[in-house]
Each structure stands twice: as C-alpha cells, then as structure tokens.
Amino acid sequence: MAGAVAEAWFAELRETVPWKAERRRMYDRDVDVPRLTAHYRLGPDEAPPPPAVRAAAEHVIAKIGVAFNGVGLNLYRDGRDSVAPHNDHLYEIVEGYPIALLSLGDTRRMTIRSKEPPRRVLHLDLEAGSLLMMSWATQLHYTHGVPKTKDAVGERISLAFRVKPASSRGAKGFYR
C-alpha cells in the first residue's frame, strides 16, 4: 500500500474515531486497558463506519479475499501502551477464517510465542501499511502481543479484521 494512503488513513482515524479508554476487571481489581480502542461491524446492515475504516476494510478484503465482518481498532499512544500476550477468543471468530492486522503510524514490534514446546518466539516489526495475516489455527497454538517499549515511539493504530459469528455481537475480549 502506498505510504501516503497509510498516512492519510492514520490521520483520519486518529481524528474521527471515538476512541475509548476502557477499564477491565483483572482478578480482584479494575485496571486501565493500556491503549485506546474502538470496534465496528462491517456489512450492509450495519451503521457505516468512518470512511477510512471502510476504505481500509475494502483494501484488506480485496487483498485477502475474505469477507471480514468486524474490525477492532487499537491506538497505541506511545511506548507505554501495549497489548499483553493473548490469543483471540475462539468464540469471537468463525472457525477456519484468518485474522488480518493492518498497521498504521509508527512501527511497533509484535511478539508471537508458541504455547507449547518446542518454544518458539518470533519478533515482527509491524510497519505502516503492513498487513499481517494469522490463521485461525494460530490462535490455538500461539500467543501474540505488542509489549511496552522504552524506545521513543509515536502513535500507532492497528485494525484487526475478523470474521465474527452473529452471536458475538457485543462480546469483548478480556485480555489487556
């Protein structure tokens, strides 16, 4: 994807998406989710998402050939924002369909780890405009996360495209 397009989508999403600061219950206390988030359903019967979300969805759907019907957005404000190692909840994705992660803004490193021996760790620098596809089965065998960093990094937005079952409307993940 052209760098100028990735930059334009980043700028538009940064400004127009109603970013939410969430709190989640972890064990016996409420903690801040260390990033801002937003979610949209995609599809003809849904309220139209901001134009940049729709344009990004069209791009990803055409590229991968999967009719993604949901997208979760993450805004990492700086190196203190992160997502802890997790796998996507299997009740939130239809079996067999991949998940596609589109990155915009500053590069952040993703760590992918196997859950069982042999232990394998993969570090991926997710650059603006990059598209990372994870298979459904990946969620069974690997975790993925974006750790905090002390490097001077600016803002990053990721769009996680998923094929969601009809019943998962409103369901939320519990990872941080």
Ligand X SMILES: O=C(O)CCC(=O)C(=O)O
Sign of the C-alpha dihedral, residues 166, 60, 90, 87? negative
| Residue choice 83, 100, 104, 128 for contact with ligand X (CB under 6 A) | 83
Q: Taking the complex as a whole, how short is the minimal distance between the CB of residue 120 and ligand X, in angstroms?
A: 18
| Cβ 86 to ligand X shortest distance, Å | 7
**Interaction between residue 105 and ligand X (CB under 6 A):** no
Residue 80 to residue 78: CA distance in whole angstroms: 5
**DSSP strand pairing (70-76 vs 156-162):** antiparallel
For ligand X, the binding residues in 113-152 under the rule CB under 6 A are 126, 144, 146
Out of 50, 72, 105, 129, the residue judged to bind ligand X by CB under 6 A: 72
- Of 42, 61, 74, nearest to 100 (Cα)? 61
| C-alpha closest to that of 145 among 160, 161, 163 | 160
In whole angstroms, the minimum distance from the beta carbon of 172 to ligand X comes to: 11
Beta bridge partners of 104: 157
Binders of ligand X among residues 147 to 166 (CB under 6 A) are 158, 160
End-to-end Cα spacing for the chain: 30
Specify the residue, 69 or 74, whose C-beta has the smaller distance to ligand X.
Answer: 74
Q: Which is nearer to ligand X, 153 or 160 (CB)?
A: 160
Out of 17, 38, 60, 101, point to the residue binding ligand X (CB under 6 A). Answer: 101
As measured in angstroms, the least distance from the Cβ of 83 to ligand X is: 5
Phi/psi-derived region of residue 27, left when phi > 0, alpha when psi is between -120 and 50, beta in every other case = left
Smallest gap, in angstroms, from Cβ of residue 144 to ligand X? Answer: 5
The set of residues, in sequence order, having a beta carbon less than 8 Å from that of 143 and lying 6+ positions away, is 85, 86, 87, 112, 113, 115
- Of 74, 81, 104, 161, the one binding ligand X (CB under 6 A) is 74
Residues that bind ligand X (CB under 6 A): 72, 74, 83, 88, 101, 110, 126, 144, 146, 158, 160
